[in-house]
Amino acid sequence: MPSKKKIARLSIVYDVAKDMNALIELDQCYRTLVDKLCRVFNANIASLMIIDKKKNELVIEAASGLKEEIVKQARIKLGQGISGWVAKELKPLLIKDIDDHPHFKNKNYQRVTKYSTNSLLSVPLLVNKELVGVLNITDKKDKKHFNKEDLDLLLSIAQQAAISIRNSKQYRELTRINEEKNKFISNLAHELKSPLATVKEGVNLVADGVLGEINDKQRQSLLISIDSVARLVRLIDDLLNISKIETGNIRMKRELTDINLLIRNAEKSFAPLASKNSISLKLVLPDEPIKIWMDCDKIFEVLANLMSNAIKYNKANGSVEVEVINKDAEVLISVRDSGCGIPKDDLPKIFQRFSSLSLPKNGNVDSTGLGLSIAKEIVDLHKGRIEVESEPGEGSRFNVFLPKDLRSAR
């Protein structure tokens, strides 16, 4: 069985790692680490130095017990001083008396702060033998020297801390890249929409014969161009929606609205498409109004996506049924079709962005691969959930669960 000391050490390491892993923000992660080290080792001073690979030097990112001006100015080249030596050699140091240590006693090493004791600990932060930084602890409050047990404990903490710091740095970088990507998508989408609107208007004028007579073959070609422009506009709108959701800029205008009324409006919008594709569209709604708090435009977008898909991916002379079931705390909206169904292997990725499913379509309508993922995001924003049931050859059923009162939702 492990000794009591070993159990206590593992408990401390776990506690430090848990506190750090609970924080994604890098600065908080750094601050938590140095504060914890001072408490664990009963020390006045602890510092975390991170490697600046471009300049090949260490920079203090967080410290406890050091003056602010020291923290701001300290930059240590690899090989310079104690931290620089640890970073260069990738080896830990336990020093009982800096004035007697063979590495530093004859090198005019000057300390910027007066300590109660010349004893200190300095260990490298490594992930897969790659240097992340250096941890330093000095000045025990009880004025005793650090010992081998202290060094072993700090090495164990450093092993976990290095991973947490690496993960937090990667998260920060991914966040920055994602913000840049969303900014680029948003700017590009806005730049594209204006000329596309001009193209669409011009082609419509020609197709309608306003600018002169055209023959049927020319009109058919122009109508294909109009459909292509419309498809591009839908894709741009979808990309803008994704960008807004990811950046948290999507605005919710929640109001108390009858869900039955919203579904009837959606049915009116898609009745022509259903009729064109020889699909029967049926509503099964409760007699009484069901009012819930929601953003009507966005829930309409969810309904539009589900009903459009149910028509597109259906059989000739098939059917689509939209049903509303009133439950105690939520409303179930079910969109069922008699179409081709979804292969079992495709079900797990049905709500993923740009998911490509090999499904036959009723009519020449293309998909951006973003509709269902946006629908799920919108339902999530309403604190609801969306699920799918499907069997190949037997159609599909999408179930949307929306809370009636968002204040009591999860």
pLDDT digits (tens, 9 = 90+) for 93-102: 998 877 677 6
Looking at 137, 154, 170, the residue that finishes a domain is 170
Q: Is the same domain home to 82 and 190?
A: no
Q: What is the CATH number of the domain that holds 381?
A: 3.30.565.10
Q: How far from 50 is each of 125, 139, 397, CA to CA, in Å?
A: 9, 21, 53
Q: How far from 294 is each of 212, 269, 302, 373, 388, CA to CA, in Å?
A: 48, 20, 12, 19, 22
The pLDDT of residue 340 is: 85
Into how many domains does the chain fold? 3
Rounded to whole angstroms, the Cα distance separating 141 from 65 reads: 12
- 243 and 182 Cβ atoms separated by less than 8 Å: yes
Average pLDDT of span 119-135: 90
- Lowest-pLDDT range of 2-11, 285-294, 296-305: 2-11
More confident residue, 362 or 43: 43
Rounded to whole angstroms, the Cα distance separating 125 from 168 reads: 14
Looking at 247, 278, 305, the residue that finishes a domain is 247
Q: Is the same domain home to 190 and 298?
A: no
Residue 305: is its pLDDT beyond 70? yes
Q: Is the same domain home to 19 and 156?
A: yes
Looking at 231, 247, 263, the residue that finishes a domain is 247
Q: Is the same domain home to 60 and 112?
A: yes
Tell me what the pLDDT averaged over the chain comes to.
Answer: 81
The pLDDT of residue 1 is: 45
Q: How many CB atoms lie within 10 A of CB 346?
A: 16
The pLDDT of residue 363 is: 46
Tell me, yes or no, if the pTM score tops 0.85. no
Q: Is the same domain home to 188 and 135?
A: no
The pLDDT of residue 129 is: 87
Indicate the pairing of strand 319-326 with strand 385-390.
unpaired
Q: Which of 102-111, 211-220, 301-310, 357-366 has the highest mean pLDDT?
A: 301-310
Q: Is the same domain home to 118 and 15?
A: yes
The pLDDT of residue 23 is: 55
Domain coverage including residue 70? 4-170
